[in-house]
């Protein structure tokens, strides 16, 4: 059995041992590949402080056993010597608005913000630098208005569609988002149950708190399942070849589509996240890098680089060979030019997204990119299925996107707040809100089938003028 003295010798990047659930692991080689950065691990390096609480906020209990090679499992430690981690849990106890009172995703978010820990609240809400991209994601939806038509029989509606090749009861899907356990102990499992029961797709993030196997099992074994589908979102790792394992694993688990994130060769500068992290390091007396250590451009390794920075269009055939014939979607398209370029490759769709405003500050919203595609390369709308996300909080936003040619809309933060406040019930109610709002909007527009939607039902002039893009108009 290892002792405190054994562990204390390994407290640096050169040799990093940590304690999780009373067991010691050597994570030295993993530090630079950790999506949350090395610092979040180093504050436990060589210390007699169990990192279990911190670990469980982000990961399934079995993940470290599966992903860390056996030679890095060093052995148990005398539990009497270990100090329990003093980090806040996934939530704090406050009075939360009863779910029955909530009437919208905004209500659910307000309830979640009361309940969430400071860490979770910061992580879910943070964006790049000045937060301009986050704000514009919402403002650009609000800048589009409707052209309703009257005296039409709207007694029956059809909202069903196919999303990334799979049937869906609504033109929405659960967008990929990491670390759902920050909000609720059952994290992504709440999303899987909601998707299965309400027959919509869930796109599972590479950095989910639970393993792919656990999420798939939860989805497939849901006793109240009425449909739905699971897609896998892929971050290509820093070492490109390591993506092969992730793709083959997702294929073997029968994920129905592969969604490749292409807007993250490095992680955006999220100042609220960074400020919280450095404050924690300061409290734990972890030394920060001294100012002026590197010349600009000489930082090593690649600044904020945890993903592959060499991924190119020419890699798509390699990915297609690994994945097979099921749909491949590129997530993170932010220009009409790249949307058009995608038509030249073996892809089934594109996903317009600025990563929830978390990557590039002043990045275009998905609405802006969709308007530009309509104006510059309208043929793309017929050649590829287009999906969007970012700033969506209402069913009316979904209808606006469909009018501009999108096939379906992803919602990320809305569902993260829903599971954080109310677990699976919150996810179910959030889907109900969106369904209600989509139905109401369609009927008030004089539309009975989402396939009837086109630019004639919306006024984009205000936004188009603001952005210097051609106004989109069609005849009903």
C-alpha to C-alpha distance for 32 and 305, rounded to whole angstroms: 9
383: which 2 tokens?
A: 């050649």
466: which 2 tokens?
A: 């603001």
pLDDT for 89: 42
Question: Residue 123 contacts by C-beta under 8 Å, 6 or more apart in sequence?
Answer: 179, 182, 273
The pLDDT of residue 475 is above 50: no
* Helices and strands in the chain, H and E counts: 18, 17
The pLDDT of residue 286 is above 70: no
Query: Which of 187, 196, 192, 200 lies closest to 224 in space, CA to CA?
Result: 196
Please report, for the chain, the start and end positions of each structural domain, with discontinuous segments joined by +: 4-76, 101-276+305-467
- Residue whose entry in the numeric block shows the structure tokens 């790049």: 128
Residues linked to residue 330 through DSSP beta bridges, in sequence order: 260, 350
**SS3 state at 409:** strand
Compute the average pLDDT of residues 440-460: 98
Question: Residue 223 contacts by C-beta under 8 Å, 6 or more apart in sequence?
Answer: none
Q: Are 339 and 374 in contact (CB under 8 A)?
A: no
Q: Share the mean pLDDT of the chain.
A: 90
Question: Could you tell me the end-to-end alpha-carbon distance of the chain, in angstroms, rounded to an integer?
Answer: 76
Among 23-27, 136-140, 147-151, name the one with the lowest average pLDDT: 23-27
pLDDT for 68: 77
Query: Which of 163, 158, 160, 162 lies closest to 175 in space, CA to CA?
Result: 163
Rg (CA), the chain: 23
What CATH number does domain 101-276+305-467 carry, 3.40.250.10, 3.10.20.30, 3.40.190.10, 3.20.20.70? Answer: 3.20.20.70
291 backbone φψ class: left, alpha, beta (φ>0; ψ -120 to 50)? beta
Among 44-48, 231-235, 325-329, name the one with the lowest average pLDDT: 44-48
46: which 2 tokens?
A: 């060589």
More confident residue, 398 or 36: 398
Q: Longest Cα pair distance anywhere in the chain, in angstroms?
A: 80
pLDDT for 277: 76
pLDDT for 301: 58
Strands (DSSP E) found in 182-289: 201-204, 229-234, 258-261
Q: What is the share, in percent, of the chain residues with pLDDT greater than 70?
A: 86
CATH number listed for the domain at residues 4-76: 3.10.120.10
Residues linked to residue 163 through DSSP beta bridges, in sequence order: 166
> If pLDDT is split at 50, 70 and 90, which confidence band does 43 have?
low
**SS3 state at 155:** coil
Among 26-35, 40-49, 287-296, name the one with the lowest average pLDDT: 40-49
Question: Which pTM value belongs to this model?
Answer: 0.85
**SS3 state at 78:** coil
* Residue 139: C-alpha distances to residues 144, 228, 364, 395, 396 (Å): 9, 31, 12, 15, 14
194 C-beta neighbours (distance < 10 Å), count: 27
Q: Are 386 and 350 in contact (CB under 8 A)?
A: yes
C-alpha to C-alpha distance for 46 and 181, rounded to whole angstroms: 26
Give residue-wise pLDDT tens across range 68-98.
788 888 877 866 666 554 444 444 556 899 9
Compute the average pLDDT of residues 347-367: 98
> If pLDDT is split at 50, 70 and 90, which confidence band does 474 have?
low
pLDDT for 74: 85
As annotated, the active-site residues are 355
C-alpha to C-alpha distance for 46 and 28, rounded to whole angstroms: 11
Q: What are phi and psi of 76, to 5 degrees?
A: -75, 160
Q: What are phi and psi of 162, to 5 degrees?
A: -115, 130
C-alpha to C-alpha distance for 26 and 41, rounded to whole angstroms: 11
């Amino acid at each position: 059995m290892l002792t405190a003295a054994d562990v204390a010798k390994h407290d640096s990047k050169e040799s990093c041992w940590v304690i999780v659930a009373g067991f010691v692991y050597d994570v030295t080689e993993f530090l630079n590949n950790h999506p949350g950065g090395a610092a979040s691990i180093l504050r436990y390096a060589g210390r007699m402080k169990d990192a279990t609480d911190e670990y469980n906020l982000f990961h399934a209990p079995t993940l470290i056993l599966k992903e860390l090679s056996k030679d890095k499992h060093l052995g148990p430690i005398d539990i009497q010597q270990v100090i329990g981690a003093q980090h806040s849990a996934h939530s704090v106890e406050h009075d939360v608005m009863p779910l029955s009172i909530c009437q919208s995703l905004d209500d659910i978010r307000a309830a979640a913000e009361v309940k969430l820990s400071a860490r979770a609240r910061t992580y879910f809400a943070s964006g790049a630098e000045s937060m301009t991209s986050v704000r514009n994601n919402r403002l650009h939806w609000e800048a589009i208005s409707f052209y309703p038509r009257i005296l039409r029989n709207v007694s029956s509606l059809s909202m069903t569609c196919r999303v990334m090749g799979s049937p869906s009861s609504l033109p929405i899907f659960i967008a990929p988002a990491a670390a759902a356990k920050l909000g609720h102990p059952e994290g992504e499992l709440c999303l899987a149950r909601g998707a299965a029961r309400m027959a919509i797709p869930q796109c599972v993030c590479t950095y989910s708190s639970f393993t792919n196997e656990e999420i798939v099992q939860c989805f497939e074994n849901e006793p109240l399942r009425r449909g739905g589908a699971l897609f896998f979102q892929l971050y290509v790792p820093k070492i490109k070849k390591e993506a092969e394992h992730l793709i083959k694993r997702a294929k073997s688990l029968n994920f129905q589509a592969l969604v490749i994130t292409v807007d993250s060769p490095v992680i955006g500068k999220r100042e609220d996240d960074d400020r919280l992290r450095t404050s924690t390091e300061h409290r734990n007396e972890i030394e920060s890098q001294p100012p002026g250590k590197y010349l600009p451009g000489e930082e090593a390794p690649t600044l904020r680089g945890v993903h592959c920075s060499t991924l190119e269009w020419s890699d798509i055939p390699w990915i297609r060979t690994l994945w097979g014939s099921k749909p491949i979607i590129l997530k993170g398209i932010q220009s009409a030019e790249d949307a058009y370029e995608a038509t030249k490759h073996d892809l089934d769709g594109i996903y317009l997204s600025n990563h929830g405003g978390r990557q590039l500050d002043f990045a275009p919203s998905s609405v802006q990119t969709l308007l530009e595609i309509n104006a510059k390369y309208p043929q793309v709308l017929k050649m590829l299925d287009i999906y969007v996300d970012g700033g969506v909080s209402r069913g009316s936003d979904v209808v606006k996107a469909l009018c501009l040619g999108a096939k379906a809309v992803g919602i990320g933060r809305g569902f993260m707040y829903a599971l954080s406040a109310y677990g699976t019930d919150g996810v179910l109610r959030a889907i109900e809100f969106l369904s209600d709002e989509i139905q109401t909007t369609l009927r008030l527009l004089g539309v009975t089938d989402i396939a009837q939607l086109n630019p004639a039902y919306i006024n984009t002039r205000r936004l188009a003028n603001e952005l210097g893009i051609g106004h989109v108009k069609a005849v009903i």
